[in-house]
RNA sequence: GGGCGCAUAACUCAGCGGUAGAGUGCAUCCUUCACACGGAUGAGGUCACAAGUUCAAAUCUUGUUGCGCCCA
């Protein structure tokens, strides 16, 4: 047995040690053995960006997934937690381009080949930082199977998927209005664009109407007027009835523009009620253009500069053009003022640039035929979404799904396997890295499409491309479909929905049985974590501890320290009482905390105080075990609960069973909050607060039989409880479990032991009922002692008057327990009506009259007030119950058991009143 | 504008048809031989508002108000 436990729980060394131990012993490995007949549990890890680093969202996700993984492993499943990393096309390319920019270089200076080499180099430099950080969190992924989305095998799968979809007509190339990132100079899918409300202005200017007069339009983007091909008004707007069918004249370009009526685009109450329409650079306008067959006039080039269509404004950058246009309108006397306006600005998720709607030729996935089966799978319950409210969101998105633009004008990624023939204009689409000749005419004058695929296209294949697809491998058969897919709801559309579509299409069945969605980690006040707000917390700072000064320097780099600290404290009010740093809370405390939030609330307001509290819980576990270790030596721990005769032992085994059943249910139903709360309550509230306290007099007694029984029950329960908690807090449970007596033949690690399920304890409802009475009686004495300010060290005589003979006999049995926790030297059990000495306080619980003799212990009488208070409370309850019973229809329409229960409650309260009332004099006899 | 969701103790949140729960915080007492990262006790809530369904509503329905998020 290892060295003695330290007085307090110190996570750091333990965590390092056991993670290495698990890896050494291959604890995380899934089995490929053909004869392995265990049921399978497969969880594909949402792949982090290869160059990324761990944030709070990862910590939450990884923790939840590892709990699921560990629990299933302990339930006897052949468990695969499939790890991997994503090449993250645009994100990675943007970072490397920024690095080049420092040397005043662009990717074009290097050329495609050299640039890609450079990205690979950087990937190497980042190494496996993210993976190491995930390991700090204790993830039990099968790291030997880790897959990178640019691996040769995975790349082949990506090309295969593209080629097949293309041949089936589900991928096509077309010119469409898309979102254009002028910085990265690539198209983005609508999901990669985030719109945020920002300050802007609503600018008004007048278009001269042909034949005289003018119409004033309101716009947030005056520069796009260069591409206007209509002015729209509401057909019912009486202000403009006279203008129906007329034209306006473009002030800068030689163009006549129609005035059209459109009830969909125009809100007559907004702005001037007249809207300029730019179909080539706005999605709503594009649709309007379709409805009215308007001309599409493109006015920007790829860098966001005005093109030749902009006449004298050509060459100006977008925002310069805005100023120039406003100036020009002003000069022509057409400006009609402006006002401040909040508007949604769409920005690229990766570069932060305001994206530009542009017309462009791109590759698209035809989503509707793919979405149908994906929708069906959820509707029929083949795939279940939890929490279920998300099913509605999924349904809504899938039924309104748009075609998915999958080409990107980037270099880092899977190059589109399409070759254009210069001789015959045929497009060859084949699964190959290079192609020699056109498949149609045989010409070698071909060139490959320059673009790469959207990263999400490759990750959509994750559940099967990781297992060897398109080959029919043993792995693929064994580990597809996955069991659960767990991820943040923010990538429900990006990733989950697309995996559903691809999985169903290529494999014929949905990629997972359940989709589990967790919430977003936000700061303590409910705000999103962001670099701008300065409220980002690095999970490693919580695990290893960190001065707040360090924390905020990372959260708000470059900002003055005072300011950063102020923002941080505001975002995390609970740190006010924490001094100047996070202590090292350890992975377990962080994991437990993250699991304790309900998945139903969409936000998880991270509270450092809560993590601190859960480190205290770990410390409690540590010390309770330290206490137990002093007594459990030589205990026999078998596979089943030991025999128990003592009430505390019988009770504990029943409560153990209850706790484990509920914890298991919580895990099964994706309610880790319930599971952790129950285990917390059992360990602290029952095992520590009651059982350990009550075991002390047993261990101190002379009697060997009860001592041995208690020793065995304690050892058994503690060992089982550690197993039940292991999925949530793997490190501390392993450390302590290794030191406890265990059943013979226990595995090398708690991670491979069995998760306790129903039957781990022993059913004993009588014990629970009796123990509740003992607890209530002890509580009554404690309350009286506390309220009458009896010194905690003082021993006071207690008399219990009990009418029920069976009950009195039971309490007599528990004399030792009660004497210890009541701190009494003289406990007497008598029948009601039996004589009693003078002076004291009275309580009444569970049919037991509790008399605490205070004569000579407290000076003054003064019990009357307390009794009056109790009586008043009881009377209030009686009134409510009587009212309920008397209410018309209750007796005959409510279920009989409810009526009976109500009557019993009423009787109990009346008895209580009778006893308390009779005790008034007793209280004044001091 | 469309969709989804939330309003419960000072704070953060569970509960979702039978007379309100947890953690933290607060108050009082206790350094008792596992733990002061501890123990005991206590205070604190017309469950946003209004109407309805029901024998019974924090819990179901509708409306109102306030607040989030997603999509446009």
Whole-number Å distance between alpha carbons of A473 and A796 = 76
Distances in Å between the alpha carbon of A350 and those of A88, A201, A354, A362, A389? 10, 26, 11, 20, 30
Nearest protein residue to nucleotide B30 (CA to C1' distance) is: A792
Q: Is the pLDDT of residue A895 over 60?
A: yes
Q: Is the pLDDT of residue A1 over 50?
A: no
What are the tens digits of pLDDT across the range A743-761?
888 999 999 999 999 999 9
Between A675 and A126, name the one with better pLDDT. A675
A888, closest nucleotide (Cα–C1') = B55
Nearest to A519, CA basis, from A408, A353, A430, A390: A390
Between A806 and A402, name the one with better pLDDT. A806
Residue A617 neighbours by CB under 8 Å, 6+ apart = A589, A592, A680, A683, A684
Number of neighbouring beta carbons within 10 Å of residue A823: 18
| Contact between A389 and A517 (Cβ < 8 Å) | no
A525, closest nucleotide (Cα–C1') = B12
| Contact between A268 and A257 (Cβ < 8 Å) | no
The integer distance in angstroms from the CA atom of A681 to the C1' atom of B39 is 16
Q: Is the pLDDT of residue A925 over 70?
A: no
Q: Quick one: which H or E segment has residue A515?
A: strand A512-518
Average pLDDT on A262-269 reads 78
Residue A762 neighbours by CB under 8 Å, 6+ apart = A641, A644, A650, A653, A654, A657
Whole-number Å distance between alpha carbons of A330 and A58 = 52
Q: Which of A276-285, A335-344, A443-452 has the weakest average pLDDT?
A: A335-344
The integer distance in angstroms from the CA atom of A379 to the C1' atom of B47 is 35
Identify the pLDDT of residue A349: 77
**ipTM of predicted assembly, 2 dp:** 0.93
In sequence order, the β-bridge partners of residue A199 are A342
The integer distance in angstroms from the CA atom of A264 to the C1' atom of B45 is 49
Residues in chain A: 926
Average pLDDT on A429-442 reads 86
The integer distance in angstroms from the CA atom of A340 to the C1' atom of B50 is 38
A287, closest nucleotide (Cα–C1') = B72
The runs of H, that is alpha helices, within A701-854 are 704-725, 730-737, 765-787, 805-813, 815-822
| Contact between A461 and A443 (Cβ < 8 Å) | no
A589, closest nucleotide (Cα–C1') = B37
Identify the pLDDT of residue A136: 93
Nearest protein residue to nucleotide B1 (CA to C1' distance) is: A267
CA A188 to mean position of chain CA atoms? 26
Ramachandran angles phi, psi of A784, nearest 5° = -60, -45
The integer distance in angstroms from the CA atom of A73 to the C1' atom of B58 is 40
DSSP E strands in A19-108: the ranges are 40-44, 78-82, 84-85
Whole-number Å distance between alpha carbons of A283 and A299 = 15
The integer distance in angstroms from the CA atom of A672 to the C1' atom of B1 is 38
Nearest protein residue to nucleotide B2 (CA to C1' distance) is: A396
Identify the pLDDT of residue A48: 86
What are the tens digits of pLDDT across the range A113-171?
888 898 888 888 887 788 889 999 999 999 999 999 999 999 999 999 999 999 999 99
Q: Is the pLDDT of residue A863 over 70?
A: no
The integer distance in angstroms from the CA atom of A185 to the C1' atom of B16 is 51
The dihedral through the CA atoms of A237, A240, A245, A249 has a sign that is negative
Q: Is the pLDDT of residue A459 over 70?
A: yes
Nucleotides of B under 7 A from a protein CB: 3-6, 11-15, 18-19, 22-25, 28-30, 32, 34-42, 54-56, 68-72
Strands A84-85 and A186-188: unpaired
Average pLDDT on A178-204 reads 80
The integer distance in angstroms from the CA atom of A911 to the C1' atom of B72 is 66
Identify the pLDDT of residue A141: 94
Nearest protein residue to nucleotide B17 (CA to C1' distance) is: A894
Whole-number Å distance between alpha carbons of A870 and A914 = 12
Question: How would residue A724 be classed by pLDDT, with cut points 50, 70 and 90?
Answer: very high
The dihedral through the CA atoms of A632, A637, A640, A646 has a sign that is negative
Q: Which two tokens stand for residue A562?
A: 């005072």
The integer distance in angstroms from the CA atom of A285 to the C1' atom of B41 is 69
Ramachandran angles phi, psi of A879, nearest 5° = -60, -45
Q: Is the pLDDT of residue A58 over 80?
A: yes
| Contact between A620 and A684 (Cβ < 8 Å) | yes
- Go through the domains of chain A in sequence order and give each one's CATH number: 31-169+370-403+456-518 (3.40.50.620), 193-349 (3.90.740.10), 532-763 (1.10.730.10), 792-923 (1.10.287.380)
Identify the pLDDT of residue A284: 82
Name the maximum alpha-carbon separation found in chain A: 116
Place of tokens 């030792």: A816
The integer distance in angstroms from the CA atom of A690 to the C1' atom of B39 is 12
Q: Which two tokens stand for residue A864?
A: 């009357």
Nearest protein residue to nucleotide B5 (CA to C1' distance) is: A602
Whole-number Å distance between alpha carbons of A688 and A618 = 13
The integer distance in angstroms from the CA atom of A785 to the C1' atom of B39 is 15
b/e sequence A262-273, b meaning 16+ C-beta within 10 Å: beebbebeebbb
A689, closest nucleotide (Cα–C1') = B39
Q: Which two tokens stand for residue A17?
A: 């040690």
The dihedral through the CA atoms of A235, A240, A246, A252 has a sign that is negative
Q: In chain A, pLDDT over 90 holds for what percent of residues?
A: 36
Q: Is the pLDDT of residue A861 over 70?
A: no
Nearest protein residue to nucleotide B42 (CA to C1' distance) is: A787
Whole-number Å distance between alpha carbons of A621 and A614 = 10
The integer distance in angstroms from the CA atom of A251 to the C1' atom of B1 is 32
Q: Is the pLDDT of residue A530 over 90?
A: no
Residue A642 neighbours by CB under 8 Å, 6+ apart = A636, A709, A712, A713, A716
Q: Which of A64-73, A298-307, A658-667 has the weakest average pLDDT?
A: A298-307
Q: In what order do the strands lie in the sheet with A418-421?
A: A427-429, A418-421, A446-448
The integer distance in angstroms from the CA atom of A739 to the C1' atom of B29 is 37
Identify the pLDDT of residue A310: 82
Question: How would residue A297 be classed by pLDDT, with cut points 50, 70 and 90?
Answer: confident
Whole-number Å distance between alpha carbons of A683 and A691 = 10
Whole-number Å distance between alpha carbons of A38 and A36 = 6
In sequence order, the β-bridge partners of residue A336 are none
Residue A512 neighbours by CB under 8 Å, 6+ apart = A44, A383, A463, A481, A482, A483, A484, A485, A499, A503
Nearest protein residue to nucleotide B21 (CA to C1' distance) is: A677
A630, closest nucleotide (Cα–C1') = B34
Cis peptide before A481 (omega within 30 of 0): yes
Q: Is the pLDDT of residue A859 over 70?
A: no
Nearest to A406, CA basis, from A350, A366, A434: A366
The integer distance in angstroms from the CA atom of A573 to the C1' atom of B67 is 20
Q: Quick one: which H or E segment has residue A365?
A: strand A356-365
Nearest to A724, CA basis, from A761, A692, A689, A685: A761
The integer distance in angstroms from the CA atom of A734 to the C1' atom of B71 is 46
Q: Which of A463-472, A728-737, A864-873 has the weakest average pLDDT?
A: A864-873
In sequence order, the β-bridge partners of residue A512 are A482
End-to-end Cα separation, chain A, in angstroms: 57
Q: Which two tokens stand for residue A767?
A: 């014990």
Mean pLDDT of chain A: 88
A621, closest nucleotide (Cα–C1') = B35
Nearest to A831, CA basis, from A796, A804, A806, A797: A804
CA A372 to mean position of chain CA atoms? 28
CA angle A352, A353, A354 (to 5 degrees): 120
Whole-number Å distance between alpha carbons of A795 and A824 = 5
What are the tens digits of pLDDT across the range A241-253?
888 888 888 888 8
The integer distance in angstroms from the CA atom of A606 to the C1' atom of B13 is 12
DSSP structural state of residue A455: H
The integer distance in angstroms from the CA atom of A613 to the C1' atom of B11 is 15
Place of tokens 């799904």: A401
The integer distance in angstroms from the CA atom of A774 to the C1' atom of B58 is 32
A583, closest nucleotide (Cα–C1') = B37
């Amino acid at each position: 047995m290892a060295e003695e436990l330290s007085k307090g729980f110190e996570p750091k060394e333990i965590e390092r040690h056991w993670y290495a131990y698990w890896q050494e012993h291959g604890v995380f490995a899934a089995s490929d053995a053909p004869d392995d007949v265990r049921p399978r549990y497969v969880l594909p890890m949402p792949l982090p960006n290869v160059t990324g680093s761990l944030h709070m969202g990862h910590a939450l996700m990884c923790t939840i997934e590892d709990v699921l993984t560990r629990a299933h492993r302990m339930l006897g499943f052949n468990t695969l937690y499939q790890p991997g990393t994503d090449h993250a096309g645009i994100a990675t390319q943007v970072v490397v381009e920024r690095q080049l920019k420092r040397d005043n270089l662009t990717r074009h200076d290097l050329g495609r080949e050299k640039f890609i080499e450079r990205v690979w180099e950087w990937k190497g430099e980042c190494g496996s930082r993210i993976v190491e950080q995930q390991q700090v969190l204790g993830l039990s992924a099968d790291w030997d199977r880790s897959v990178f989305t640019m691996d040769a095998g995975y790349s082949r799968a990506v090309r295969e998927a593209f080629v097949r979809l293309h041949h089936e007509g589900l991928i096509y190339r077309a010119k469409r209005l898309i979102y254009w990132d002028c910085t990265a100079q690539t198209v983005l899918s609508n999901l990669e664009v985030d719109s945020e409300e920002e300050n802007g202005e609503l600018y008004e200017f007048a278009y001269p109407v042909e034949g005289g007069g003018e119409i004033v339009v309101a716009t947030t983007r005056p520069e796009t007027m260069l591409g206007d091909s209509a002015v729209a008004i509401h057909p019912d707007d009486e202000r403009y009835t006279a203008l129906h069918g007329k034209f306006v004249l473009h002030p800068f370009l030689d163009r006549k523009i129609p005035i059209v009526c459109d009830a969909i685009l125009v809100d007559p109450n907004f702005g001037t009620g007249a809207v300029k329409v730019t179909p080539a650079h706005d999605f709503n306008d594009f649709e309007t253009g379709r409805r009215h067959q308007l001309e599409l006039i493109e006015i920007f080039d790829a860098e966001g500069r005005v093109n030749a269509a902009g006449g004298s404004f050509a060459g100006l950058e977008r925002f310069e053009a805005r100023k120039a246009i406003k100036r020009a309108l002003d000069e022509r006397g057409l400006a009609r003022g402006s006002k401040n306006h909040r508007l949604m600005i769409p920005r690229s998720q990766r570069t932060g640039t305001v994206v530009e709607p542009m017309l462009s030729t791109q590759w698209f996935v035809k989503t509707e035929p793919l979405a149908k089966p994906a929708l069906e799978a959820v509707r029929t319950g083949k795939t279940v979404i939890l929490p279920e409210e998300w099913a509605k969101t999924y349904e809504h998105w899938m039924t309104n799904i748009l075609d998915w633009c999958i080409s990107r004008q980037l270099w880092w990624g899977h190059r589109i396997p399409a070759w254009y023939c210069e001789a015959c204009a045929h497009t060859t689409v084949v699964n190959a890295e290079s192609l020699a000749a056109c498949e149609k005419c045989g010409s070698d004058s071909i060139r490959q499409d320059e673009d790469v695929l959207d990263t999400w296209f490759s990750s959509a294949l994750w559940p099967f491309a990781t297992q060897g697809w398109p080959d029919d491998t043993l792995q693929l058969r064994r580990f597809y479909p996955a069991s659960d897919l767990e991820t943040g709801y923010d990538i429900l559309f990006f990733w989950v929905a697309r995996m559903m579509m691809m999985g169903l299409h290529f494999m014929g069945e949905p990629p997972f049985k359940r989709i589990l969605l967790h919430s977003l980690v936000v700061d303590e006040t409910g705000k999103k974590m962001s670099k701008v707000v300065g409220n980002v917390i690095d999970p490693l700072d919580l695990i290893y501890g960190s001065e707040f000064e360090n924390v905020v320097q990372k959260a708000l780099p470059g900002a003055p320290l005072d300011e950063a600290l102020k923002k941080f404290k505001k975002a995390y009010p609970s740190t006010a009482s924490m001094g100047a740093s996070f202590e090292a809370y350890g992975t377990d405390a962080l994991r437990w905390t993250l699991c304790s939030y309900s998945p139903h609330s969409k936000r998880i307001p991270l509270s450092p105080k809560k993590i601190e509290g859960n480190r205290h819980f770990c410390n409690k576990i540590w010390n309770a075990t330290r206490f137990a270790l002093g007594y459990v030596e030589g205990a026999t721990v078998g596979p089943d609960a030991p025999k128990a005769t003592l009430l505390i032992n019988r009770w504990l085994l029943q409560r153990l069973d209850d706790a484990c059943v509920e914890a298991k249910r919580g895990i099964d139903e994706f309610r880790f909050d319930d599971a952790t709360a129950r285990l917390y309550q059992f360990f602290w509230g029952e095992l520590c607060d009651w059982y350990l306290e009550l075991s002390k007099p047993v261990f101190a007694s002379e009697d060997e039989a009860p001592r041995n029984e208690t020793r065995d029950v304690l050892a058994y329960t503690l060992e089982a409880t550690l197993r039940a908690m292991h999925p949530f807090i793997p490190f501390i449970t392993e450390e302590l479990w290794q030191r406890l007596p265990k059943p013979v033949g226990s595995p090398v690690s708690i991670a491979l032991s069995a998760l306790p399920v129903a039957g781990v304890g022993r059913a004993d409802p009588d014990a629970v009922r009796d123990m509740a009475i003992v607890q209530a009686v002890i509580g009554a004495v404690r309350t009286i002692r506390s309220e009458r300010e009896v010194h905690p060290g003082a021993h006071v005589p207690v008399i219990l008057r009990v009418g029920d003979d069976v009950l009195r006999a039971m309490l007599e049995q528990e004399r030792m327990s009660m004497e210890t926790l009541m701190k009494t030297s003289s406990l007497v059990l008598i029948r009601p009506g039996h004589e009693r000495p003078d002076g004291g306080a009275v309580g009444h619980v569970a049919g037991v009259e509790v008399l605490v003799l205070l004569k000579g212990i407290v000076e003054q009488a003064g019990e009357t007030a307390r009794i009056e208070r109790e009586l008043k409370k009881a009377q209030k309850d009686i009134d409510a119950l009587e009212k309920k019973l008397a209410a018309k229809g209750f007796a005959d329409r409510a279920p009989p058991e409810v009526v009976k229960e109500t009557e019993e409650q009423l009787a109990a309260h009346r008895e209580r009143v009778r006893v308390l009332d009779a005790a008034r004099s007793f209280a004044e006899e001091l």
